[in-house]
Amino acid sequence: MSDATRDGGVPIFEAVGINKSFGPVHVLHDVDFRVYPGKVTALIGDNGAGKSTLVKCLAGIHPTDSGEFRFEGRPVSISGPRDAFDLGVKVVYQDLALCENLDIVQNMFLGREMTRMGLLDERSMEQAARDTLASLSVRTVKSVRQPVSSLSGGQRQTVAIAKAVLGNSQVVILDEPTAALGVAQTEQVLGLVRRLADSGVGVVLISHNMNDVLQVSDRVSAMYLGRVAADIAIDDSVRRETLVELITSGSSGQYGDRRVAQVEEVG
């Protein structure tokens, strides 16, 4: 029985048998990765496990050596970032890529401004920004005309996520969204992540914080030395120690592939 059948649905976005090398270094080994609509899938792994490379392949930044992508069950070609963007796959990187000298509206529409009769349609952009923030139940932003430089870390993360979901967004990949945030701001961002998934979007959460993963995720995919060691649903049997063992050794009790765990890194 396939994972899709066990989960009661078809993945909205799927990578199958992905391989990627940089010169003689084989970084990704036959990686299978699935994102389900309305669910948060955590992507975890130690530094160098292949998470960043996989995400850049999903986003069309790195071409793959072999394997295929499927969107809503059908094979698709992702040969560049535009292909991924057109499918509705958006990535919020850890640096957020926001311009501090611009306000929230200007950041959200940067590079895709709305125009009317050759002029910027400020009113429509403001309303779209408000509607997007409201759809995510964001209440911490006082005005969409606030400059980003005046926002807290949690508010900036909120704006970056809202920018990603603006328009046709089917899959949103969040790279360490709670890094360097305080307790209260972390709770705000995790609540936003959960609401984003509840709206039907497939969310990928990359995090080194296992407490955050257990709090907000529905599934977890653990990478070890460029391979997926485990792809499991989060339930009461999955504990923080389980995830740490998957990250550090590739297996934990009933979880993980011991063949993957026995792979030694080639120097």
Please check whether residues 209 and 156 belong to one and the same domain. no
CA–CA separation, 206 and 70 (whole Å): 21
34: CATH: 3.40.50.300
- Is the pTM of the predicted complex or chain greater than 0.85? yes
- d(Cα 222, Cα 229) in Å, to the nearest integer? 6
Residue 219 within a domain: yes
* Pair 193, 114 in one domain: no
| Mean pLDDT computed over every residue of the chain | 91
Per-residue pLDDT reduced to its tens digit, 59-102: 999 999 999 999 999 999 999 999 999 999 999 998 888 999 99
For the cut 90, the answer to whether the pLDDT of residue 52 exceeds it is yes
pLDDT in tens, 178-223: 988 889 899 999 999 999 999 999 999 999 999 999 999 999 999 9
253: left (phi over 0), alpha (psi -120 to 50) or beta: left
Helix, strand, coil: what percent of the chain each, to 5?
A: 35, 25, 40
Which domain-ending residue is among 142, 167, 192?
A: 167
Task: Specify whether 46 is located in the same domain as 12.
Answer: yes
> Does the residue 267 lie in any domain?
no
User: Is residue 67 domain-shared with residue 117, that is, in the same domain?
Assistant: no
Residue 54 pLDDT exceeds 50: yes
* C-alpha to C-alpha distance for 200 and 239, rounded to whole angstroms: 26
Domain boundary among 167, 183, 200: 167
Phi/psi for 254 (5° steps) reads: -80, -10
Predicted pLDDT of residue 5: 38
- 108 plus 147 within the same structural domain: yes
Residue 229 belongs to some domain of the structure: yes
Q: Print the domain residue range for 120.
A: 97-167
Nearest-Å Rg of the Cα atoms of the chain is 19
Residues 83 and 39 in one domain: yes
Q: How many domains does the chain have?
A: 2
Q: What is the per-residue DSSP string for 115-154?
A: EETTEE-HHHHHHHHHHHHHHTT--S-S-TTSBGGGS-HH
Assigned domain for 266 exists: no
Q: What is the pLDDT of residues 97-140, one digit of tens each?
A: 899 999 999 999 999 999 999 999 999 999 999 999 998 888 88
Contact criterion met (CB below 8 Å) for 132 and 201: no
